[in-house]
Amino acid sequence: MALIVVGVAGGIAAYKTPALIRLLTEAGHRVRVAPTEAALRFVGRATFEALSGAPAPTSVFDGAAVVDHVSLAADADVVVVAPATADLLARYAAGRADDLLTATLLATRAPVLVAPSMHSAMLAHPATQANLALLRARGVRLLDSPSGRLTGRDSGPGRMESPENIAAAVERLLGPADLAGRRVLITAGGTREPLDPVRYLGNRSSGKQGLALAEAAARRGALVTLVVANVSEPIPYGVELVSVSTALELEAAVALRAPEADVVVMAAAVADFRPAEAAVAKIKRDRVGSLTLELVANPDILAGLVADRRPGQVIVGFAAETGDEAGAALEHAARKARRKGADLTVVNVVAGGAVFGADTNSVVLLSASAEPVGQAAGSKLDVAEAVFDAVVPRLSAC
């Protein structure tokens, strides 16, 4: 039975935290609640104690005999802070320990998940953004702060993630470490092929799905190398990073590392063609009048990986398809899966560009023989977990 420590800071969203505690206890977990004094202005201590079946102290002096902040910190399997207010984030980022919750956060080595919630203006302030960036860089998992109606009449980002989504994120952190010791190589983002020193041919991949794959693999215990092409999103904690820009650079980076990898996931959107020549100086409008570009083919990196695959290695490809109907897109993807021969193909229907830059995704997984072997929809992290759920049995089978 896992122990989940639920930290509660003093924000209006604290009224939803009892629902989170209920979800966690109903899932069979032990819960200890560590509210701040300010949180108790929103929800009474009796509510937290009754729902968790345990004392809910705010101060390190309350449970001095059992040194609660040390025992909670040591025994927790996950610490989740919901809501995490601007003040709590600032104190956590600064390493303060002036109440039981911050002392526990400082002392624990368990994974920490925070659900920021505050007014949009406070969330957007550079001080809060800097605190969030610092915490993320230290390995704290940050949940989104969705947009919607705020406490007053206004709307905007800063609401707390729903108790259901927070509970699901906790479950993910408790999930199996079934890639422990495995080397996983992931590519993410979109390549850029230079036309001249200031222009390029590119694509709309944000890299978010590849980053989510890296986060999921790291959470499952893998040694992750992430080759990113032109990604501006924050990189998950604990992942080895290699930055490239063009398809040829990506190919070289992958070629160097693939032989060592147990799993290779080609999530990057690789340009199929590049300009035959990149101009050394900026192409001038008045000098060329009209312009015809000559493009040459880039190598198919995934096909090369499959050709050189060593026994026991699992190779995952993506297929971005834009058929008018989902059926047609799947047909194209099945042909691509058979042609490329990856062990798994993750099919993304990108009609209308809906998936690019979005936080959610919907995919179908195809086997090497193009049989549908699974599907997933939800956050890009949910999709990433589903991909590795399908990878793991293929690994152990080897």
Q: How far is the CB of 291 from ligand CTP (least distance, A)?
A: 23
Query: Which C-beta is closer to ligand CTP: that of 99 or that of 343?
Result: 343
Compare residues 141 and 336 and give the one whose CB is closer to ligand CTP: 336
Minimum distance from residue 376 beta carbon to ligand CTP (Å): 17
Chain positions contacting ligand CTP, by CB under 6 A? 247, 266, 268, 270, 272, 298, 300-302, 317-320, 336
Minimum distance, C-beta of residue 263 to ligand CTP, in the bound complex (Å): 13
Number of neighbours of residue 173 by Cβ within 10 angstroms: 18
Q: How far is CA 350 from the centre of its chain?
A: 20
Q: What is the rounded distance in angstroms from the CA atom of residue 300 to the CA atom of residue 112? A: 40
Question: CB of 237: closest distance to ligand CTP in angstroms?
Answer: 24
* Closest-CA residue to 101 (of 127, 132, 138, 76): 76
Kindly tell me which of 300 and 331 has the beta carbon lying closer to ligand CTP.
300
Q: Which of 378, 374, 371 is nearest to 388 (CA)?
A: 374
Least distance (Å) between residue 319 CB and ligand CTP: 4
The smaller minimum CB distance to ligand CTP, of residues 56 and 384, is found at 384
Query: To 5 degrees, how large is the angle CA 311–CA 216–CA 77?
Result: 120
What angle do the packed helices 208-219 and 163-174 form, to 10 degrees?
50
In the complex with ligand CTP, which residue's Cβ is closer, 34 or 250? Answer: 250
Tell me if residue 298 is catalytic. Answer: no
CB nearer to ligand CTP: pick between 266 and 334: 266
Q: What angle, 0 to 180 degrees and rounded to 10, lies between the N-to-C axes of helices 86-94 and 126-137?
A: 50
What the block records as the tokens of 204 is 């709309």
Tokens representing 147 are 């947009």
Alpha carbons 235 and 226: distance in angstroms, whole number: 9
- The string of DSSP letters for 291-329 reads ----EEEPP-HHHHHHHTPPTT-EEEEEEEE--SSHHHH
Contact between residue 167 and residue 24 where contact means Cβ atoms under 8 Å apart: yes
What single DSSP character describes residue 372?
E
Cα–Cα distance between 206 and 345 in angstroms, integer?
19
Give the nearer residue to ligand CTP in terms of CB position, either 23 or 315.
315
Report, in Å, the least distance between residue 320 CB and ligand CTP. 4
Neighbouring C-beta atoms of residue 274, cutoff 10 Å = 22
Closest contact distance (angstroms) between CB of 336 and ligand CTP is: 6
Which of these is catalytic: 131, 165, 203, 348? 203
Q: Please give the helix or strand (H or E) that residue 120 lies within, else none.
A: helix 120-124
DSSP secondary structure string for all residues of 124-188: HSHHHHHHHHHHHHTTPEEPP--EEE-SSS-EEE-PPPPHHHHHHHHHHHHS--TTTT-EEEEEE
Active-site residue list = 203
